[in-house]
Amino acid sequence: MLPVQWAAAACLDDTRVAALVAGYPHTPISGLPADLSLDDAYCSQQKYVALLRRTMGEPVGYKVGFTGKPTQERFGIPAPATGLLFEPMFIEDGGRVARDFGYRPAIEPDLMVVVKDAGIMTASTELEVAEHLSSVHAFIELPAIQFAVEEKITGPGLVAVNIVATRMVQGPGAPVEATPAFVQAMADLQTVFSDETGTVIQKAPASTLLGNPLRVVLWLVDEFKRRGKTLRAGDRLSLGAVGRLFPLGQDGRTYIYTLDGLPGGAISTSVRVE
């Protein structure tokens, strides 16, 4: 299949968005305007996810990307950005996925929380956020970086295609405690990303997420207030990459991701890529 191409910098028209969704997640994208504005990117994303809904159902949550300054500078985007998550994107904990699930497959250690109730929209501190979350999870995202290899990838370009949300795995949850000690534990949380041989691929602090992952939720609350949107009970929130994004190799491998430092002990998730 030929790459999807266009040149005009504006909210992508319906035909172009339909071509993108038809090629998701295997067809490489090229020719996306380098000067696409963030407003036009979100306009395009709205059309994009409307078409995804036809086959994937209603969204089950949101992902937040670009939560670190280095990532924002790399992709030319001034602040974090959001996309939507759908149930068919999720693989069961400890499950398997084919390496060729999409074009330029990658793997990313992440972190997820689940909203307890809509009262979270009144939160203005990390402690108040904790009062309205039910659980925290080790979470691995497996995005298809669908842009052609020779393309310059920009933040708005990624936003337009739902921040390349593709496949992901969510581990068992640990309960969120609305205490200062738990808020500090989230700031101090350490993560280990390894394989089935015990080889450590990465160790990274969760503080890479705006200093404390709960601050990402605060950012999302403020952003949704600005847009007139509301988080609801059961919404799954992917809070961004903890450390690096890794391209997937050719050989079969089991990836294990652990969060260490929560009051109830370490929690983890895993996925086999074949």
User: What's the one-letter identity of residue 6?
Assistant: W
35 within some domain: no
How far is Cα 271 from Cα 196, in angstroms, rounded to an integer?
10
Q: What is the mean pLDDT of the chain?
A: 94
pLDDT digits (tens, 9 = 90+) for 21-53: 999 999 999 988 888 999 999 999 999 999 999
| Strand spans (E) along the chain | 59-65, 81-86, 90-91, 96-97, 106-115, 133-142, 167-175, 190-195, 200-205, 236-238, 246-247, 253-260, 267-273
CATH number at residue 69: 3.90.850.10
The answer to whether residue 199 is domain-embedded is yes
Residues 6 or more apart in contact with residue 130 via CB below 8 angstroms: 176, 177, 178, 179, 182, 183, 186, 214
| Number of Cβ atoms within 10 Å of the Cβ of 118 | 13
- pLDDT per residue as tens digits for the range 197-231: 999 999 999 999 999 999 999 999 999 999 999 99
Note whether residue 260 is domain-resident.
yes
Q: What is the pTM of this model?
A: 0.94
Flag whether 25 is in a domain.
no
Residue 6 predicted with pLDDT over 50? no
Q: How far apart are CA 196 and CA 205, in angstroms?
A: 21
Judge whether 8 lies within some domain: no
- Mention every residue, 6+ apart, whose C-beta is less than 8 A from residue 224: 121, 230, 231
Whether 4 is covered by a domain: the verdict is: no
Reported as a single tens digit per residue, the pLDDT across 229-239 is: 999 999 999 99
Flag whether 64 is in a domain: yes
- Residue 225 structure tokens: 């207030």
The stretch 167-191 carries a mean pLDDT of: 98
Q: Which of the pair, 266 or 76, is modelled with greater confidence?
A: 266
pLDDT at residue 260, as a whole number: 98
DSSP label of 186: H
Q: Which residues pair with 140 in a beta bridge?
A: 109, 169
Do the Cβ atoms of 274 and 196 come closer than 8 Å? Answer: no
Please give the residue range of the domain that contains residue 124: 58-143+166-273
Q: What CA–CA distance (Å, rounded) separates 129 from 126?
A: 5
How far does CA 142 lie from the centroid of its chain?
A: 9
State the CB neighbour count (10 A cutoff) for residue 20: 23
194 falls within a domain: yes
Q: How far apart are CA 43 and CA 242, in angstroms?
A: 28
Q: What is the number of structural domains in the chain?
A: 1
Predicted confidence (pLDDT) at residue 131 exceeds the cutoff of 90: yes
71 or 245, higher pLDDT: 245
Using 50, 70 and 90 to split pLDDT, how confident is the model at 5?
very low
**Cβ within 8 Å of residue 250, ≥6 positions away:** 99
Categorize the per-residue pLDDT at 9 as very low, low, confident or very high, splitting at 50, 70 and 90. Answer: low
Spatial distance between the Cα atoms of 274 and 272, rounded to a whole number of angstroms: 6
Whether the pLDDT of residue 269 is over 60: the answer is: yes
